[in-house]
Structure 1
Amino acid sequence: MRRRTGRMGAAVLAGLLLVALGGCAGQGTRPQDAAVPLAGPVEVSGEASAAPVELDAPATPAASEGMGLAPTPSRSASPSAKPSPKPKRTAGPRPVPKPPTETQVPPPPPKPAPTGCKPSYEGSQATRAQVKAALTDAAQRTYWPVSAPDISIPLSLMKATAWQESGWQSNIVACDGGIGLMQVMPATADWMNQRFEQSYDIDDYSDNAYLGGTYLAWLTKYIGDMYFDSDYSLDASLCTSELNSCLLNAVISAYNYGHGAVAQEGEPLAIPNPQYVRNVRALMTECECLNF
């Protein structure tokens, strides 16, 4: 969750990603190209947590459907046995947002890291199998079980964000202070733990994944309430070629630049970091990490 200005494009995922990390990106609500995550299956406003709900891993659209474009809708295998799906929002975001329902917001992003700074490493590195399990668990959680139980974070989004942020390196510390797998900023982690009454350890790779998932869920509700009439769908099929057309792109953008750079009272929805959004969207369909 920080601004990460020079991340790699989808086409050069594995190699260039690790090079990009050398450019020192941070995370959380920061100015570089990444945002901050948060806690596990908790609820806001003192609402009790619910048992995690197992979500199906989303189907992987074709590679050409990344970069902000809507993937080709998949055909329904069994049309009759399942209940009718909830109608999808067809219009874009509200031109004038509603006032935010969340009045407690994360801290502002940190200053950009010095040019030429290289990230450091602390502790032992989690294996890919361990990272995959942690990200899968985080994606399966119900973060707002009472006020917004339909909010869910796609597993492909969790995997892609972690790959963009850290290359799945659980022990990396960026120059701007971003820590671990999801590059969570310490101040944002503290805020989220307090907000959701949790005690997640930012240095633990599993807790770091929960922090990232919780922050994505918080952004989904915050921006969804303001611009999408509380429709919290992160379905890529709702996105058009305009990056500010859907909640998914807005949440990705805010994870990197912070909620305040994307959603402001009285202002239209903004995407200040289009390249970061395109990178993550492409990784959601093309990342080698999807096969780990």
Structure 2
Amino acid sequence: MALRARPPRLAALTALAALAAGPVAVLADVAPADARGRPWPGHPDRLLVGHVVRPGDTATGLATRYHAWTRELVALNHLDRAGTLRVGERVRIPVVVSALPKAKAPAAQAAPVAPPAADPATQGWRHWRMSRDQVREAVRREAQRRGVPVALAQAVAWQESGWHQPVTSAAGALGVMQVLPATGLWMSLYAGRPLDLRETHDNIRAGVTLLRVLLDETRSTRRAVAAYYQGLGAVRRHGIAPGSRPYVANVLAIRDRLAAERG
């Protein structure tokens, strides 16, 4: 995701650094007026927290810091596909309450939040309680099985969902790899069986298999990543679209960081 005042590569590294540091004090550096969350009607386990965009903020970085989903943040604030933020504007961040360290939950929580098992948003999902480390490892195994560079597959998964499964985009993309149902049917042909995108391992298989197909079809990592975001046909017809460039830059920056960590 991009902020005009900051290059996407630095934004991605900031987001990944927050992940590597482990749990953070989510509301520690937010002004008291911004730290008062309120329930998001119709969205169990979410509190809306206000934030005034500062230099260096990115949609991905804010989502990581507040334990929110990037796609929910983008949709809620009607941002463009690149998640562009403007310094000084106020955005609402849908904090996932169950993901917060208990001591850090907003004090003004207005109503008790149902336990995750009772959350309608998670109904139908399978193996959705896997930790980020478990998801990361599952992506690694599938990438090795499919001959996809591990760091690249993990970077796409992080960019798409932050290594979490029960996520649905406004466009209907599902899970860790944010795969559209139609794409899931396509990837099922390669898998030799129907893939359930609401099951974590199948979702990862669909997304990593798609990456394998795109790498084969484009013969270019950058174009394959762009095709993951904007579609293979669009890349073939028009090349990498301007709106896809921040996404591609973020994924490649995260890939490089992950590869460096692996040594």
TM-score when normalising by structure 2: 0.54
> Which protein, 1 or 2, shows the higher relative CO under an 8 Å CA cutoff with sep ≥ 6?
1
Separation of aligned partners in 1, 2:194 and 2:261: 29
Letter in 2 for 1:172: V
Q: Is the CA contact (8 Å cut-off) linking 1:262 and 1:271 kept in structure 2?
A: yes
Aligned-pair distance for 1:117? 11
RMSD (Å) for aligned C-alpha atoms:
3.3
Aligned-pair distance for 1:214? 0.5
What does residue 192 of structure 1 align with? Answer: 187
Separation of aligned partners in 1, 2:191 and 2:143: 17
Q: How many residues align?
A: 168
Q: Is the CA contact (8 Å cut-off) linking 1:202 and 1:211 kept in structure 2?
A: yes
What does residue 270 of structure 1 align with? Answer: 240
Separation of aligned partners in 1, 2:224 and 2:165: 22
Secondary structure of the structure 2 residue equivalent to 1:201:
coil
Residue 125 of structure 1: which of 129, 145, 149 is its match?
129
Following superposition of structure 1 onto structure 2, how do residues 1-292 of structure 1 map, counting pairs within 5 Å?
Answer: 9-13=11-15, 14=18, 15-18=61-64, 20-24=70-74, 32=81, 121-122=121-122, 123=125, 124-142=128-146, 152-194=147-189, 196-224=191-219, 247-264=220-237, 269-272=239-242, 273-286=244-257
Q: Is the CA contact (8 Å cut-off) linking 1:165 and 1:182 kept in structure 2?
A: yes
Aligned-pair distance for 1:129? 3.3
Secondary structure of the structure 2 residue equivalent to 1:184:
coil
Structure with greater helix share of residues: 2
Secondary structure of the structure 2 residue equivalent to 1:191:
helix
Aligned-pair distance for 1:12? 2.7
After superposition, give the CA deviation of every residue in 1:86-143 in whole Å (9 maximum; x if it has no partner): xxxxxxxxxxxxxxxxxxxxxxxxxxxxxx897994144211232122101111114x
**Change in 2 beyond 3 A, CA 1:187/1:137:** same
Question: Which moves more between the two structures, 133-142 or 208-217?
Answer: 133-142
After superposition, give the CA deviation of every residue in 1:65-104 in whole Å (9 maximum; x if it has no partner): xxxxxxxxxxxxxxxxxxxxxxxxxxxxxxxxxxxxxxxx
Q: Can you give the 5+ residue segments of structure 1 that lack an aligned partner in the other structure?
A: 26-30, 34-115, 143-151, 225-246
Separation of aligned partners in 2, 1:289 and 1:132: 15
Aligned-pair distance for 1:201? 1.4
**Change in 2 beyond 3 A, CA 1:289/1:16:** farther
Identity across the alignment (%): 31
Q: Can you give the 5+ residue segments of structure 2 that lack an aligned partner in the other structure?
A: 19-60, 83-91, 97-119
Q: Is the CA contact (8 Å cut-off) linking 1:160 and 1:289 kept in structure 2?
A: no
